[in-house]
């Protein structure tokens, strides 16, 4: 796919998420997708495959975030979406890095405000060891 087509694929995902169309969102991901949400919030972690990604999106969606794409940059199979996210009355900016292969997203790395995610979603409990 061209860089423009890759950007359009990523934009379709944001548009579908905003419309609550999770079926379309999930159709844009490879079955073996890897999604990395950094930090120590309850929603942080590395998610493998569509089932884990669906669970993650369900937890994120409980707070009804709104995401506005400010800019998209593409080079080869990589698309970077610079976004403004508002959730639970807080706003931050993220850089979401997508890897596209054969018309599907195979990997996503989120680069954002991890402290805000902990504040909004809660901090992970450490297991007693």
**Domain boundaries defined on the chain:** 3-115
- Residue-wise over 67-89: b if at least 16 C-beta within 10 A, else e? bebeebebeeeebbbebebebee
Residue 56 CB contacts under 8 Å (≥ 6 apart), including other chains? 35, 37, 43, 45, 47
Q: Which of 44-48, 79-83, 108-112, 115-119 has the lowest mean pLDDT?
A: 115-119
Q: What are phi and psi of 15, to 5 degrees?
A: -65, -45
Residue 89 CB contacts under 8 Å (≥ 6 apart), including other chains? none
For 3-115, CATH gives 3.10.450.50
CB atoms within 10 A of CB 21: 14
> What local confidence, expressed as pLDDT, does residue 61 receive?
87
Please check the confidence at residue 126 and state whether its pLDDT lies above 70: no
pTM of the model: 0.92
């Amino acid at each position: 796919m061209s860089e423009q087509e890759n950007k359009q694929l990523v934009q379709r995902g944001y548009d579908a998420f905003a419309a609550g169309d999770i079926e379309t969102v999930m159709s844009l991901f490879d079955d073996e997708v890897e999604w990395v949400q950094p930090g120590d919030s309850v929603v942080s972690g590395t998610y493998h495959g569509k089932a884990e990604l669906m669970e993650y999106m369900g937890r994120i969606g409980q707070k009804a975030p709104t995401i506005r794409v400010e800019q998209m940059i593409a080079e080869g199979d990589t698309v970077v979406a610079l976004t403004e996210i508002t959730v639970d009355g807080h706003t931050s900016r993220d850089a979401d890095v997508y890897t596209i292969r054969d018309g599907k997203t195979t990997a996503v790395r989120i680069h954002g405000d991890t402290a805000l995610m902990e504040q909004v979603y809660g901090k992970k409990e450490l297991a007693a060891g």
